[in-house]
Each structure stands twice: as C-alpha cells, then as structure tokens.
A = this chain, B = another copy of it.
Amino acid sequence: MARRANAPASADLDVRKATILEAVVSEHIDTNQPVGSSSVASSADIGVSPATVRSEMVSLEREGYLAQPHTSAGRIPTDKGYRYFVDHLENGVLGPAQQQQISDFFASVRGEVEDVLEQTSTLLSQMTSYTAVVVGATHAHASILSAQLVNIDAHHQLLVTVFSDGSVIKHSLAPHFEVDHETCAEASRQLNALLIGTTLESAVQVPSRSDHVAQLVRDSVAVLHAQQPTADGEQVFIGGSSRVADSFDGVDTVRKVLSILEQELLVVSLVQDMLSRGLSVAIGSENGFEPLSTCAVVVAPVTIDGTPAGAVGLLGPTRMKYQEAMAAAGAVSQHLARHFGGDEEHANH
C-alpha cells in the first residue's frame, strides 16, 4: 500500500528530488511555514548543499510540485506535491496508546447502531484532532422483517418498518377517512404478508380493491417505496466540527467549511465519490468543491462480509498529518467492521 489504489501515474521523480519534496512537505506540515533550501539540506540525509537543493527546487517548482508565496520566501507544496507525498507514504502505524484507545472504546461501547456510529465519530475526531465523518450505508438492499401499522388516532397512522440490518424507519399516514383499530390491524396483517422478505427495490403487488384496508395498504407501500429515490438511507455522523476552527486560519475559511459540513448530502456524495474513484485521500481541488480547496479528506471504507457498509472519513487542512490520519481512519474502520460483522452479525448496516 505504499502506492495508493489508482495513484496518477506521476512520472516518478528521481531519488533526490523525491527526498527533497518529501522533506519540504513534512516540514511544512509540521511548521505551517514556507520551507527554505538550507533547512532541507540540513534536515534530510541528502549530503548536498543548500545551493544544490535550491536548483532542484526550481525544477520541482517548474514541474508543479512546489510553489513560492513570493520571491525570496521558502517553498510550500502544491496540491500535486501533497499528492506525490501521500502516494509515496509508507503505511503508518498507530501508537500503542491510540490502539489501546480504540480497543477500549469498542470493548465498552454499547447501544444502538446509531449511537455507536455517533460515538465513533467523536472518538476519531478526538484521536486525530480533525473533524470526523462516519457514513452508514443505506438499507436499500436489506429485506423487510416486519411492517406494522400503528393506529395513533382515527386519522393518523404510523407505519413502522424493520429491516434485516436492524434499522427501523417510520412513516406517517393521514388518510381522509376514519380508521378504527380493526381496520388498522387488518391492514397491518396484509402489509406484513405483502412486504416481509422484500426489499425497497422489490416490486409489490398491492390490492386494487377500494375498501379502507386496501387504501391503507396502498398508501403505506407508496410512502415506503417513496423513500428509495431520495437515496436518503445513509446516516451521517459528524464529530468534532469545532476542530475546523483550529485547522484553518481565516474565519471565512472556517465558515465555508462548516457550511459544507452542514449540508450532509454533500458530505455523503463527496465520500462516496471518493470511494467509487478508489481514492483514500483527496487533496485540495481534488475533492471538487471550491470551498474545500485548502482541505484534505481521508476516507476508509467499512466493509462487512465483503460488502460495502459505509465509510469513515477525516477532514483537515491540506497540511494535515496524513500518515496518522490514514492510520486512524483505517484502524477505526476495521474495528467498526469487526464490531458489527463479528459478534453482532446482523445488527449493522
């Protein structure tokens, strides 16, 4: 994994240039300052003088890996520079303390899936001090275990549907006729007969009669299947959004990023887009939203029994600590998969 999935076939730099580039990137990540030739020359184990480093740097700048904020300042990495750095990163290893922290967390966490995912996002955020995103997959493919119509009053019913992945969704109905308990119970029975074992994608033969029971059944199926097109099944949990405030300098950047995070749909599509492109890191402009041009996003898919079940992600500045972030996201995603795939085989998404 020293080379990430579909890394762009960046014409490989020669060894020295690569060393210099990596030195610049890691020092800039540490200090948030432009990096000069002399500190590179002294820091790394390249036995060359600053002058040589400098001439390599102009070359790296011509090739688009580095940029200088202004003449006579050091260099800072471009998105392309970060990309090269990330593509050539060794797999980081989590510190024992952090591993322990994750293990402890998953050993002691309890509650419903949503609670676990919520808390996981907080954990990940605390570990990395970046904003964490946990996405739970949709239940599009889960089959229905139970569909119950509950009579709230004569004009309000609640359709409660339980899926094989343990998720529950509800829909309200407000028919224009009065419904007594008997009618409701009968509709409930018919819905169960009709829906159990199907998925949201299955076609269902609804009764065409015009009595109240049939109408209730038809309405219920309709409102349930209407769920599908919105693709709204995913759940998003965002942990540590306050971390945005210390990841970026300008208040307006903070505002923009928070604003993106507020639109959860955007976040989901971002993460899913990355996964479908096989990316685990998106840097600056790579993630497609202008306001995120100074952000980097790290994602790790959560795979249970071979099927994609969600993802965990981290959002930080482009100068984020990629190795730590990737290691943390990877470890947490694996623990999540084990947690839901292992002892709780079906209580997951």
Q: Told that A148-B148, A168-B170 touch, could you supply 16 new A-B pairs with CB distance under 8 A?
A: A145-B152, A146-B150, A152-B346, A153-B345, A156-B345, A156-B347, A162-B170, A166-B170, A240-B262, A242-B256, A242-B259, A242-B262, A245-B255, A246-B251, A251-B251, A251-B254
The reply to whether B346 and A156 form a contact with Cβ atoms under 8 Å apart is: yes
What is the interface size of chain A, counting residues whose CB is below 8 A from a CB of the partner?
A: 40
A259 and B244 CA atoms in complex are apart in Å by 10
Shortest Cβ distance from A254 into chain B, in angstroms?
Answer: 5
The reply to whether B156 and A160 form a contact with Cβ atoms under 8 Å apart is: no
Instruction: Name the B residues within 8 Å of A156 (CB-CB).
Output: 166, 344-347
Q: CB of A158 within 8 A of chain B?
A: yes
CB-contacts of A142-156 with B (<8 A): 145-146, 148, 150-153, 156
CB-contacts of A207-232 with B (<8 A): none
Shortest Cβ distance from A53 into chain B, in angstroms?
Answer: 34
Nearest neighbor of A155 in chain B, beta-carbon distance:
B345
A158 and B261 CA atoms in complex are apart in Å by 32
A156 and B171 CA atoms in complex are apart in Å by 24
Instruction: Name the B residues within 8 Å of A344 (CB-CB).
Output: 156, 172, 174
CB-contacts of A242-287 with B (<8 A): 242, 244-246, 249, 251-252, 254-256, 258-259, 261-262
Take A242-B258, A347-B172 as given contacts and tell me if A166 and B146 are in contact as well, using a CB distance cutoff of 8 Å: no
A146 and B157 CA atoms in complex are apart in Å by 12
Shortest Cβ distance from A259 into chain B, in angstroms?
Answer: 4
The reply to whether B158 and A162 form a contact with Cβ atoms under 8 Å apart is: yes
